[in-house]
Structure 1
Amino acid sequence: MTGRRAMASDELHYLDLLEVGRRIQARELSPVEVTQAQLARIEALDGALKSYATVTAELALRQARAAEDEIMRGDVRGPLHGVPIALKDLCWTQGVPTAAGMTIHRDFVPDEDATVTARLRAAGAVCLGKLQLTEGAYADHHPDITPPRNPWNADHWSGASSSGSGVATAAGLCYGSLGSDTGGSIRFPSAANGITGLKPTWGRVSRYGVFELAATLDHIGPMTRSAVDAGAMLGAIAGADPRDPTARQEPVPNYLAGIGRGLRGVRVGIDAAWNTTGTDTATIEAVEAAAAVIEGLGAELRAVTFPDVTQMIADWFPACGVETAVAHEATYPARRAEYGPALSGLIDTGRALSGLDYQKIILRRADFTGRVAALFETIDLLLIPAQAFASPTVATMATLGEDASLLAGLLRYTCPFDMSGSPTITLPGGYTRDGMPIAFQLVGRHMDEALLVRAGAAFQRETDWHLRRPMP
């Protein structure tokens, strides 16, 4: 158990989202009492963890009382009804400050909800608050903001942009959260904090009312303690949205309908050379162990050669920079002095790119996306690491801008799937000798999140990595 204990299922703050929902909806638990317990835990622990940007205690209790009244009348909205969750602080929340990790927006109070916020509200979820993130959802936290601390060990990285979501979900300060992923920011904090993160297909979830980092790279998705919980949250937020014409029009399936089917006959591709070149031993062993479990569940493992990602990693920075420059045009460079160095550096990169060079990136990205789609004609899932090295320390990550190999290793298995828009699920798959989480990813074809949830659920029925907890 690497010094950590598996928590008993009846410890309230670590119940699965669906389990606490079931008990609430069966009137075994009061949503008001569950919300009060969560708020008390946040009060006790988050002074050290720093996962919340804003705690919305009054709103949460008001929503919990409304949920309790509805459930007592027999009006149950669905599996999230009465369950306390939290939102990354780039999702507009009516009447609540929404700063996107930026001091420049600290006084911004939206007069409407983002679509994802509204849909969670309609599902009856209780909003505990807004979770801290890096500046503008890019690489580093603003110098004036204290980064969230990894609950397993504060000396280790808590992940990039959705760091607050990862920390709060892992530490039992919410039952699930929303994150966003432009280069890996659902997957990095899920891996770092030992939770499950689901990055949907680009466009599967509306981006309306979500602060933009890079429009064609941004993905909104759930971060939870299990694959089935992620499926439940995705079911609440996914779908077409007239306020976001880029949102996909396909009907939203019941992501939980097939979770008992297992993996027999599912074709899982593995590029052994790509998975192991430059990857640390602990991560390689975790991925190989995951492959063995998946094969034991009846999946067919197939050797594949994944398209070379070198150019996509190189292209991601200027592509992201151009789109970020557009997103910040109203305030940058006019208010440059209020920006931190990482975000301003990214915007400067984008503003310096020529139209010709940007068009070349667009063409290469389209070519790569086509090659990825072609690969999924021969497989159903792809098994890869979450990142090339397990659980880096805060000190190591402070050298990210100076170490090209570190940066490439971090992005190797993440940003290519933002460039292609492919869905992925990040699952806990082991621990380092120091007791820190290690994760792997399953990647699917576009719009096949249901298979990712099903595969994650099958893996988690056979393993207990996702049941380990960082603190009492």
Structure 2
Amino acid sequence: MTAEAIALHYLELTDVAALIRNREISSREVTRLQIDRMASLDGDLHSYALMMADAALVQADAADAETAAGRSRGPLHGVPIAIKDVCQVKGFPTGAGMAVHRHIASDEDATVVRRLKKAGAVLLGKPQLTEGAYSDHHPSVTPPRNPWNADYWPGISSSGSGAAVAAGLCYGSLATDTGGSIRWPAAANGVTGLKPTWGRVSRYGVFELAPSLDHVGTMARSAVDAGILLGAIAGSDPKDPTALLDPVPDYPASITGDLRGLRIGVDAAWNSDEVDAGTQAVLAEAIKAFSELGAEIVDIQFPDVAQVVADWVPNCAVEAAVAHKATYAAHKDQYGTVLASVVEAGHAISGIEYQEIWLRRMAFRGRVEALFEKVDLLLTPVQPFAPLTLARIQTLGEQPGLIAMLQRYTCPFDMSGHPTLTLPGGFTPEGMPIGFQLVAGHLGEAVLVRAGAAFQGISAWHRRHPVA
């Protein structure tokens, strides 16, 4: 493979789209290169549960025919992307990391898939995930590997999406986040992850873990790319009455290049309590960069998260028990032990306990939203420690305190439903990426994209990639 071909794999989505639009390269050529690269590398990486090569080439040819006729469907026209294997694609199975579903073909597209097809995107395949999008892989699944170093954790559950984007096996991917599943893989793999406001994106045709916590979002190499993907899939949907009715902005149009007038809240105590030195250094450099871009850094006090983090597990368990009600009853023997234990735990929680959780959750949501009267964004870690090795992650089940620390900066924003953007912000001495997180108020995705694009305009962390 030529150096030029290798470099093409690591271009940002917008750059590839421009090459296709200007007919400097065809969608078929780009798609073919991606398919060949997947065949060459993914046998070791295991980032994909399903490749859809033949269908992708048909879509690429259709995009090229439209380009030749002078027609473009927009910024995703002819660009190869991936679809996390919780989203239905007509004619292909939606395994959701589960043995019971992996051979059942879907009879319709999820709304997000239908919208990507309408936007002219080429669907390469379906990245792998943990069982049922929870915290562990089914025993029959080989987990995705971190392309930076196979001895390190690639995140959960959108780990396949993060690994595929980082390794140059797609130009972006749909992903989901229920407790941190966009943010952990984005940070672990050194890519950009956008978790939108709950309800900003339709969940119709997307496998449920815990519906009131499930967010459908995007992973890509830049904030601009992540915003473009979100713009294509967001919006109201008659098939999902919980999808918000608010109009969808042109997210890249919000980019100004500077952040004058923007207020970024920082809780110095929360961001440093048991947070390792490497992560704190990344946060400090990010604060410096945002200040140079014109943002005002505002001291804030974030609401205590101990209770909402503790409530996340039983909240998720009850909703997972409902989501798996029919399947678990009929196919319990095909469930892995971790997902089965969550479903069982959900059955054991009373209605009164669940209502108490919801009341506490609504109060927490209100306290978080009130902060956005004072600031436009919050800046926090994604996790309080440097990238985790697989050896350390494998002992998480024996360390409830470590699990709570891992969830400290992610679960609260699933419980509150606020949008977040994860950005690469540095590397460890071992060469592993460290990310940080921006959080916005309700439907604040445009300001997230603006801030992320400004940061990435003066930094190059998002342009580094694993050697392969």
TM range (shorter): over 0.9
CA contact (8 A) 1:199 1:222 kept: yes
For the residue of structure 1 that corresponds to 2:252, the secondary structure is coil
Query: Which aligned pairs between 1:59-70 and structure 2 lie closer than 5 A?
Result: 59-70=55-66
Stretches of structure 2 that go unaligned for 5 or more consecutive residues are none
Q: 2:206 matched to which residue of 1?
A: 210
CA contact (8 A) 2:381 2:436 kept: yes
Instruction: Give the distance between the partners of 1:22 and 1:370, measured in 2 at CA.
Output: 42
CA contact (8 A) 2:5 2:33 kept: no
Deviation >3 Å, runs of 4+ = 7-10
Q: 2:357 matched to which residue of 1?
A: 361
**Paired letter, 1:171:** A
CA contact (8 A) 2:194 2:421 kept: yes
> What displacement does 1:265 show?
1.4
> What displacement does 1:152 show?
0.3
CA contact (8 A) 1:256 1:454 kept: yes
**Paired letter, 2:183:** R
Instruction: Give the distance between the partners of 2:56 and 2:467, measured in 1 at CA.
Output: 24
> What displacement does 1:10 show?
8.4
For the residue of structure 1 that corresponds to 2:199, the secondary structure is coil
CA contact (8 A) 1:222 1:233 kept: yes
CA contact (8 A) 1:313 1:412 kept: yes
Number of positions where the alignment pairs a residue of Structure 1 with one of Structure 2: 466
**Paired letter, 2:439:** V
Query: Which aligned pairs between 1:452-463 and structure 2 lie closer than 5 A?
Result: 452-463=448-459
Q: 1:10 to 1:259 in 2, by over 3 A?
A: farther
Q: 2:88 matched to which residue of 1?
A: 92
Q: 1:146 matched to which residue of 2?
A: 142
CA contact (8 A) 1:9 1:15 kept: no
For the residue of structure 2 that corresponds to 1:85, the secondary structure is strand
Q: 2:156 matched to which residue of 1?
A: 160
The superposition leaves residues 42-68 of structure 1 with CA deviations (integer Å, 9 ceiling, x where unpaired) of: 011000000011110100000000000
Aligned mate of 1:35, from 31, 34, 40 = 31
> What displacement does 1:282 show?
0.7
8-17 or 210-219: bigger deviation? 8-17
Instruction: Give the distance between the partners of 1:353 and 1:435, measured in 2 at CA.
Output: 43
Whether 1:398 aligns to 2:394 is yes
Whether 1:44 aligns to 2:43 is no
Q: 2:434 matched to which residue of 1?
A: 438
The superposition leaves residues 353-382 of structure 1 with CA deviations (integer Å, 9 ceiling, x where unpaired) of: 011111100000000000001011100000
Q: 1:419 matched to which residue of 2?
A: 415
Identical-residue share of aligned pairs (%): 61
For the residue of structure 2 that corresponds to 1:112, the secondary structure is coil
CA contact (8 A) 2:257 2:457 kept: no
The superposition leaves residues 250-274 of structure 1 with CA deviations (integer Å, 9 ceiling, x where unpaired) of: 0111000021242111000000110
Q: 2:307 matched to which residue of 1?
A: 311
**Paired letter, 2:127:** L
The superposition leaves residues 27-54 of structure 1 with CA deviations (integer Å, 9 ceiling, x where unpaired) of: 1110000000000000110000000111
Aligned mate of 2:169, from 173, 184, 187 = 173
Instruction: Give the distance between the partners of 1:10 and 1:79, measured in 2 at CA.
Output: 22
Q: 1:277 matched to which residue of 2?
A: 273
CA contact (8 A) 1:138 1:213 kept: yes
- TM-score, normalisation: structure 1: 0.98
Instruction: Give the distance between the partners of 1:75 and 1:321, measured in 2 at CA.
Output: 48
Stretches of structure 1 that go unaligned for 5 or more consecutive residues are 1-6
Q: 1:294 matched to which residue of 2?
A: 290
For the residue of structure 1 that corresponds to 2:249, the secondary structure is coil
> What displacement does 1:337 show?
1.7
For the residue of structure 2 that corresponds to 1:382, the secondary structure is strand
Instruction: Give the distance between the partners of 1:304 and 1:362, measured in 2 at CA.
Output: 25
CA contact (8 A) 1:268 1:302 kept: yes
Instruction: Give the distance between the partners of 2:171 and 2:30, measured in 1 at CA.
Output: 11
Q: 1:224 matched to which residue of 2?
A: 220
> What displacement does 1:9 show?
11
CA contact (8 A) 1:100 1:133 kept: yes
> What displacement does 1:334 show?
3.5
**Paired letter, 1:308:** D
For the residue of structure 1 that corresponds to 2:327, the secondary structure is coil
Q: 2:73 matched to which residue of 1?
A: 77
Instruction: Give the distance between the partners of 2:266 and 2:122, measured in 1 at CA.
Output: 40
**Paired letter, 1:221:** G
Q: 1:382 matched to which residue of 2?
A: 378
- TM-score, normalisation: structure 2: 0.98
Aligned mate of 2:326, from 322, 330, 345 = 330
Aligned mate of 1:268, from 264, 270, 287 = 264
Instruction: Give the distance between the partners of 2:19 and 2:329, measured in 1 at CA.
Output: 52
Instruction: Give the distance between the partners of 2:415 and 2:322, measured in 1 at CA.
Output: 18
CA contact (8 A) 1:198 1:424 kept: yes
